[in-house]
Structure 1
Amino acid sequence: MESEIQAAVASLTKADTRRLYADLGAYSRAYAADPTVFASPSARVSIDAEVAGPLDDAIQLGERILRHWNKVLFDLVCGTKEADPEARKVIMSALRLNSPEAMAAAVTGILISVFSVGPAIAAVVGVLFGKVLMPAAGEDLCSFWGERVRR
């Protein structure tokens, strides 16, 4: 699965953020109908416009979903009570590599292994995290991330 995640991340990293948000929103709407389609991190799932809705709606839904996972992962990594030391270690190790792809792969793996998120959806969320969290590379991650969560 690790090599599949890396291949998916490499491919998705080339996409612009709007497309990633649109994919995330559309995938989340279509997932319940057939989760097996999303079983591979590199799955490129074509979504019927009737299912996905208008592009702007899909983008807004994708942004909401990312905000949700942002809070969940922040609590998992930076929370005091129930912080997962292994998840924190994985994300901090990826951060030290100063690579959006490493961050994306780490987040994707955590979403799949800890939360059982469909791999294709997890890969999109992971890549968005790689693009959003990398500015924190030179700062205290939890402080920076906390500011983003509270926005």
Structure 2
Amino acid sequence: MADAAKVAAVACQYDEADSYARPAASPFAVEAAPNPLRVGVPEGPLPFFGDTAYESLYRAAIDRVASLGAEIVATGSIHIYGALRGRVLAGADGNQAAHIFCHRLAAELVAIDGYYRMAEDLPPSLLEKPAHAWLEDGILTIKALD
């Protein structure tokens, strides 16, 4: 009982202003480490219908099929060594130098830094063929690879 009384006494003296105490300033300047350049390759199957695979990656390399409804988002370039049937968004952090490569283009959406093309806007000559997408003077350019 004595312990409970001590806890109650301390709780009654609780001042909300004390709960936001700040640590003392350090006399040494500490600089945050930069984010390392990362490359990612997913280990499992890509998501289906409405799921999103967002990685804060500089470059994403996908070695399997990107299914219909899948979303692949990266801050840099994206390489898909298979069919691209979902949505792909490169340069998500404003990187206009990002590129998208795929072995078979059948995408719902292709985007780089917010510039995009929907499936219905893709010329039939590009569909089901290897393709390369990049920004050129603010225009999303997509060419078939030979």
Give yes or no for TM over 0.5.
Answer: no
Richer in strand (by share): 2
What TM bracket, shorter-length normalisation? under 0.3
Greater RCO (Cα-Cα under 8 Å, separation 6 or more): 1
Q: TM-score, normalized by length of structure 1?
A: 0.23
Richer in helix (by share): 1
Q: TM-score, normalized by length of structure 2?
A: 0.24
Higher CA-based Rg: 2
